[in-house]
Amino acid sequence: MSETKEEAQASHTRARTKGASMRFKGKTALVSGAGGPMGGAIANRLAAEGADLVLTDISTNRLNGVVEKLKKEFPETSVVAHRASVLLKAEVDELLAAAAARYQGIDILVNVVGGIRGDLAVPFMTMSEERWNETFEINLKGIFHLVRQVGQGMLARSYGRIVNISSVVYAGDIHQPEYGAAKAAVASITRSLALELAPHITVNCVAPGIIATSVLDRLDKKMLQSYLDRTPLRRLGKPEDIAAAVAFLSSDDAAFITGAILPVTGGIWPAL
């Protein structure tokens, strides 16, 4: 009997992570936006290396799907899954209460929530104020709530790893001016927090390039080809590429790295 696509992917993941170090054994990681392809891949990678997990997403169905796959792949992994909008303080409070009922504290915080609603590319001169404000809220409000609350526990324990997700477009891009500005703000707050939360907490940022997810279905094909043509490695990124970078920055292998913006882009810089 031939493997299903899901079984083949699980076999590939097991082969890839077999023999991987258990860098996160005894550590608890909170991943926001865990129901999406990138958040799910990050959760999978951290679980593969021994982390206990707190996962949240605005979609219960997406979140349950990720948890189901994790339980099949890593049945020994402890997972707290809680549906929440991290843009709302009250829901973040409930999320962290659920985490506190299981774990002593959060060691690793990965802020994945972000993106753009509606059309992926809108010219600045015709953009609505609502879209501008909404894009900044989606990409920054979750970081505001989660770092302020999770960071308090990290400071009390004198240990923490925080990884934010920005984007290659933080360098400037003609197609997404509001998204680029919001992601530049993510990079900026990363550097500011790295200074404020030192010396026992590191704060870093991963800036993905074009990643192969369903979001690309909303991208104009000519625009996508333009990005590919300017990518030296000549392929789209995978969620697993981002997960590997996040795992590194979350680990003690990166203990002397803070305030860094790590591009995982295949070499592309949109403004250049």
Reply yes or no on whether the pLDDT at 15 is more than 70: no
- pLDDT tens digits for 153-186? 999 999 999 999 999 766 666 668 899 999 999 9
- pLDDT tens digits for 102-151? 999 999 999 999 998 888 788 899 999 999 999 999 999 999 999 999 99
Three-state SS for 161?
strand
- The answer to the question of residue 174 being in a domain is yes
Reply yes or no on whether the pLDDT at 2 is more than 50: no
- pLDDT tens digits for 254-266? 999 999 999 999 9
DSSP-derived secondary structure for 194-238: HHHHTTTEEEEEEEE-SB-SGGGGGS-HHHHHHHHHT-TT-S-B-
Reply yes or no on whether the pLDDT at 10 is more than 60: no
Tell me how many domains the chain contains. 1
CB–CB of 46/125 below 8 Å? no
Bridge partners (DSSP) of residue 31 are: 55, 110
Whether 170 is catalytic is no
User: Positive or negative, the Cα torsion across 37, 229, 131, 172?
Assistant: positive
- The answer to the question of residue 7 being in a domain is no
Exposure of 86 in the CB half-sphere (CA atoms within 13 A):
29
Q: What is the pTM of this model?
A: 0.90
- The answer to the question of residue 104 being in a domain is yes
- The answer to the question of residue 4 being in a domain is no
- The answer to the question of residue 272 being in a domain is no
Q: Which domain holds residue 56?
A: 22-264
Of 103, 170, 179, 227, which residue is the catalytic one?
179
- The answer to the question of residue 252 being in a domain is yes
- The answer to the question of residue 200 being in a domain is yes
pLDDT band at 1 (very low <50, low <70, confident <90, very high): very low
The CATH number for 83's domain is 3.40.50.720
